[in-house]
Structure 1
Amino acid sequence: MTDLRKTYDGGSIIACEKVDLSINQEDFVVLLGPSGCGKTTTLRCISGLEVPDSGEIVIDGVDMVGVKPKDRNLAFVFQSVALFPHKSVRGNLRFGLDMSTKLSKDEKKERVEDIARMLGIEDKLDQKPSSLSGGQQQRVSLGRAMVMEPAAFLLDEPFSALDANLRKRMQTEIKELQRRLDTPMVFVTHDQEEAMAIGDKIVIMNDGLIQQIGSPYAVFNEPTNQFVAEFIGSPSVNMIESRITPTDDGFRLENDVFSLPINTEQSFNAVTDDVVMFGIRPQYIHVAQPGEELFSGTVKIIEPQGDRDTIYLDVGGREIRAVVPQNTVTPEREELPLTIEQDKFWIFDDHGERVL
């Protein structure tokens, strides 16, 4: 995709713009962002269900803008499984082959049964969708797309209606499936945990624009702006309004929680007179050893999270979150000395762009 733009209501509503994205054969791409950010519109433009105002959508060297959806060799899997209730699983899987291919009856049967075995529903072929569980119905929906052997799969929040355990299992299965098929998948979700679990390439969108493209590790550890830093990660990142002041040997970051020297060769001349935002993930705030305390906080809430606890602290009227090993902190221990990993924080300017 190159410089894709889509608007509504005569151009007054911009759904997405300046969308540049390359998808390789091996990619599992996740379009991630809040509701209304443009991710589904982008997916629908790829599929042909929406016609962009401008830009290119090139598949196998051919610009597909203006090409009908049925002629794009793409498979779309919706949030709703939308199976034919009167057809068997076999009939649902075979439907696309019956409509658009000239395969023989035996060839269709073989392909359907191969896909059913791959999805673990080979014993359900003669049943109706109403007799299947939610996960089995979603497998049939995926299988109906797979039998067509498309150039790519487009999936629009396909697991959002499933319960938590089944959703986790389907996330694992879809990732394994993509690797076995060696076919690109583009997956839309607003759930950052789902995106981080399944995606190889995360495309974070907001207000119709791509904010960052990167691996799950890259968007978590190296966000390009404040929006990405705050959108990715659970518990959410700590943001503290601060100022940068020059010193004889560099710069110093100061706020109402702590003061911290910044050891960097980067010039902060553009932000030394302005308010900046200091960001650090809760995972990089630790209970301090004697002599290492940078600031202290009063324990408000402890949330057990398996082998780790999320601690909510009151630091001078400000809420600070920290993640510590299980049972490191008890409710009886009210005041905690704290420190941070000093190579794990970020600084954002007043436009939300990262400067460190």
Structure 2
Amino acid sequence: MNAKLELKNVSFSFGKENAINDFSLSVEEGSFTTLLGPSGCGKTTLLRLISGFLTPDSGEILIDGVNQNGIEVNERKVGFVFQDYALFPHLSVEQNIAYGLKIQKKLSKTEISDKISVVSSSLGIEDLLSRNIAELSGGQQQRVALARSLILEPKILLMDEPLSSLDTKLRIKVREELKEIQHKLHITTVYVTHDQEEALSLSTKIAVLNKGELLQAGTPRQIYFEPKNVFTADFVGKANILKKSEKRYMIRPEWFKIAQKSQNFLLSGTILSEEFLGSKCRFIIQCDSTDEKELITADFDTIECENLKIGSHISFEAVKFWEL
């Protein structure tokens, strides 16, 4: 129930507006690939191209090596979980899950019932089948939306910011559940979000987009520790982009520590502000040892920095850095 997805040199425009530009990406079978980028960068457009709701101006979309251009939406074996779940409030959970199968009119009532039993059990919602949608929590609604897609046995599952309407605490809980479900079912998933933490925690691969173009694709660790450009470095997590000895570096705030006797990437500057974060303190430092005298954000261990004050001049070092 899964497949390899390939996008080769895909371009698409809305009239004169170029939404996707020469986009190529390989999504491995059973992987969880996240399209990450700011609003309006083309993430949802790509999902709609993959599902068949839109047709590329050029390029190819292949599922298990088969070009999908010209294949109708209902024949692509692609499931789509929308941002608002798009559940029917007047139907029960069971009726929502069964909806797609009943539309197809290919199975008997017994066969549909058996499939509902299997998919609801795998998602842990077998006790909710008789409930109305309005009675469900946000996390439960997400599982129903997943069940409605999975019961059609898609080869590819597309998810368009399905956690965006949840509050922070529930969002984290449901995110963990979603990761477990995807790992259990091993279904090839393409997930859209603009939330960097969500992408880093869920994905086996992240594709960073901006203005319809793919800027970098790689594992979460590659994207975070080894960005290929300033946009990726700055968009995924907090980053300091600074220039020293005519070279440009990316340094995450947590990669700094107060200098002792080390001769690593040594810097100095004046503390402008301090923010207490519990185990860490975040400082904004006017750096006087870089080529462009940047403002640097540095996170120091709370115990290590308890004697630091605004206005103090300090030496600090980067225990890790990445040259851009």
| TM-score normalised per structure 1 | 0.82
Question: 2:26 is paired with a residue of what secondary structure?
Answer: coil
1:330 and 2:287 are equivalent in the alignment: no
Per the TM alignment, residue 101 of structure 1 is displaced from its structure 2 partner at its CA by: 5.1
Aligned match of 1:103 in 103, 107, 113? Answer: 107
8 Å Cα contact 2:271-2:283 kept in structure 1: no
CA 237–87 in structure 1, closer or farther in 2 if over 3 Å, else same: same
**How far is 1:318 from its partner?**
4.4
Deviations 1:249-281 (A, max 9, x none): xxxx16xxxxxxxxxxxxxxxxxxxxx643322
Are 2:10 and 1:4 aligned? Answer: yes
User: What is the aligned counterpart of 1:192 among 173, 191, 196?
Assistant: 196
Q: Which runs of 5+ in 2 are unaligned?
A: 1-6
User: For residues 120 and 69 of structure 2, what CA distance do their matches in structure 1 show?
Assistant: 33
1:341 CA displacement: 3.0
**Aligned pairs (5 A) from 1:46-57:** 46-57=50-61
Alignment of 1:277-288 (within 5 A): 277-288=248-259
Q: Partner residue of 2:260?
A: 289
Q: In structure 2, what is the Cα distance between the partners aligned to 1:326 and 1:119?
A: 42
Q: 1:308 aligns with which of 262, 271, 280?
A: 280
User: Any idea what SS the aligned residue of 1:139 has?
Assistant: helix
In structure 2, what is the Cα distance between the partners aligned to 1:214 and 1:58?
Answer: 20
Secondary structure of the residue aligned to 1:34 is coil
In structure 2, C-alpha distance between the alignment counterparts of 1:284 and 1:327, rounded to whole Å: 16
Mapped to 1, the partners of 2:303 and 2:8 lie a distance apart of 51
Distance in 2 (CA, whole Å) between partners of 1:80 and 1:298 is: 45
1:44-123 paired onto structure 2 within 5 Å:
44-100=48-104, 102-123=106-127
Q: How much is the aligned-residue C-alpha RMSD, in angstroms?
A: 1.9
* Number of residues of Structure 1 aligned to a counterpart in Structure 2: 311
Instruction: Tell whether the 8 Å contact from 1:278 to 1:345 is kept in structure 2 after alignment.
Output: yes
- CA distances 1:299-323 after superposition (whole Å, capped 9, x unpaired): 512240x533322223357421112
Seq. identity, %: 38
Question: In structure 1, which of residues 237, 240, 254 is the aligned counterpart of residue 239 of structure 2?
Answer: 237
* CA distance in 1: counterparts of 2:183 and 2:38, whole angstroms: 27
Supply the AA of the counterpart residue of 1:123: D
Give the 3-state SS of the residue equivalent to 2:27 in structure 1: coil
Cα distance in 2 for partners of 1:313, 1:342 equals 17
Match of residue 152 from structure 1: 156
Aligned twin of 1:43: 47
Between 16-25 and 195-204, the greater mean CA deviation after superposition? 16-25
Secondary structure of 1:75 counterpart: strand
Secondary structure in 2 matching 1:297: strand
Counterpart in 1 of 2:29? 25
TM-score w.r.t. structure 2 length? 0.90
CA–CA distance in structure 1, aligned partners of residues 103 and 302 of structure 2: 57
Gaps of 5+ in 1: 243-252, 255-275, 347-353
SS state of the match for residue 213, structure 1?
Answer: strand
CA distance in 1, matches of 2:306, 2:284: 12
Checking the alignment, whether the CA contact within 8 Å between 1:3 and 1:18 is kept in structure 2 is: yes
Matched, 1:127 2:100: no
Q: Distance in 2 between matches of 1:188 and 1:217?
A: 18
Name the CA shift for 1:35/1:144 in 2 (closer, same or farther; >3 Å): same
Contact 2:226 2:322 (C-alpha < 8 Å) held by counterparts: no
Which 10-residue stretch deviates more, 211-220 or 92-101?
Answer: 92-101
Larger mean CA deviation between 65-74 and 100-109 belongs to 100-109
In structure 2, how many angstroms separate the alpha carbons of the residues matched to 1:240 and 1:218?
20
Q: What is the CA–CA distance in structure 2 between the aligned matches of 1:331 and 1:144, rounded to whole Å?
A: 57
